[in-house]
């Protein structure tokens, strides 16, 4: 009778059996495969854009107005040196000084004032509301939306940009009077906005001195 260990097939079977057992004779436990953990890093440009957005108080999805055209759009992306604004389904790139973030509270107050404080009737919802013929805008830095975010020493440029954004916003409304409250102070802001009126807006607007600390601009 042939010894089973002299049989090659029997040896192979024995080897397989031994491979399944550990030194103690117990069945070896198959170790589960460890899952590799994948770390996803944000692109450097995206991280830089998020940092700039946080510093400037910009929130993607907010409504903004372009300074040069008075067009409104939605802020979609913030980059290191520019932003992307969606207008009528198209994306446009603009610098940080080329737009302002709309003040929702101010817009709501103006619309409410135009409607006399009453809600419009159901059938009149599609009709545009008339704007008031005269409004007042306070240019003191603490009264400007996000004015406290203006870097120290740059309050005057911030005030001038806000002044120009208001003019662009209402430029199409002929006959409208805007009383800009700049205060008395040292007259630097007063002289700056009146010089801007004479040099850049003389064909579309006129201005007259109002009460102390006020300049009245009329849209032609």
d(CA 65, CA 97) in angstroms, rounded, equals 11
> pLDDT at position 27, please?
52
156-215 tens-digit pLDDT: 998 999 999 999 988 888 899 999 999 988 899 999 999 999 999 988 999 999 988 999
Segment 140-155 mean pLDDT: 82
What is the pLDDT at residue 40? 54
Mean pLDDT of the chain: 75
SS3 123: helix
Q: How much is the pLDDT for 43?
A: 72
Q: How far apart are CA 176 and CA 43, in angstroms?
A: 48
Q: Is the per-residue pLDDT at 85 higher than 50?
A: yes
72 DSSP assignment:
E
Residue with tokens 């109002």: 210
Q: What is the pLDDT of residues 108-134, one digit of tens each?
A: 554 454 444 444 444 444 444 555 688
Contact assessment for residue 58 and residue 84, using Cβ atoms and an 8 Å cutoff: no
> Which pLDDT score, from 0 to 100, does residue 5 have?
46
Residue 15 backbone phi and psi in degrees, to 5: -60, -40
Please indicate whether residue 200 or residue 31 has the higher confidence score (pLDDT): 200
Q: What is the pLDDT of residue 126?
A: 47
What phi, psi does 143 have (nearest 5°)? Answer: -95, -10
Helices (H), the chain: 8-20, 44-56, 104-114, 155-170, 188-200
User: Of all residues in the chain, what percent carry a pLDDT higher than 70?
Assistant: 67
Confirm whether pTM is higher than 0.95. Answer: no
Contact present, 192 and 158 (Cβ < 8 Å):
no
Higher pLDDT, 88 or 158: 158
What's the mean pLDDT in 125-146?
74
Per-residue model confidence (pLDDT) at position 60: 84
- Radius of gyration (Cα) for the chain, nearest Å? 35
Q: How far apart (Å, rounded) are the C-alpha atoms in residues 66 and 86?
A: 11
């Amino acid at each position: 009778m042939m010894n089973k260990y002299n049989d090659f097939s029997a040896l192979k079977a024995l080897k397989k059996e031994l491979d399944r057992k550990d030194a103690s004779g117990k069945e070896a436990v198959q170790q589960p495969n460890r899952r590799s953990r994948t770390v996803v890093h944000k692109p450097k440009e995206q991280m830089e854009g998020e940092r700039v957005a946080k510093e400037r108080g910009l929130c993607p999805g907010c409504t903004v107005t372009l300074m040069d055209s008075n067009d409104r759009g939605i802020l979609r992306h913030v980059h290191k040196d520019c932003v992307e604004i969606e207008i009528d389904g198209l994306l446009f790139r603009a610098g940080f000084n080329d737009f302002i973030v709309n003040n929702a509270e101010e817009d709501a107050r103006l619309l409410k004032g135009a409607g006399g404080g009453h809600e419009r009737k159901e059938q009149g919802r599609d009709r545009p509301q008339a704007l008031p013929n005269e409004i007042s805008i306070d240019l003191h830095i603490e009264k400007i939306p996000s004015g406290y975010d203006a870097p120290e020493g740059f309050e005057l440029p911030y005030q001038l940009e806000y002044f120009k954004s208001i003019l662009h916003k209402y430029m199409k409304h002929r006959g409208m009077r805007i009383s800009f409250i700049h205060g008395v102070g040292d007259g630097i802001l007063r002289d700056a906005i009146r010089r801007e009126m004479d040099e850049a807006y003389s064909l579309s607007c006129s201005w007259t001195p109002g009460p102390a600390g006020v300049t009245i601009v009329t849209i032609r």
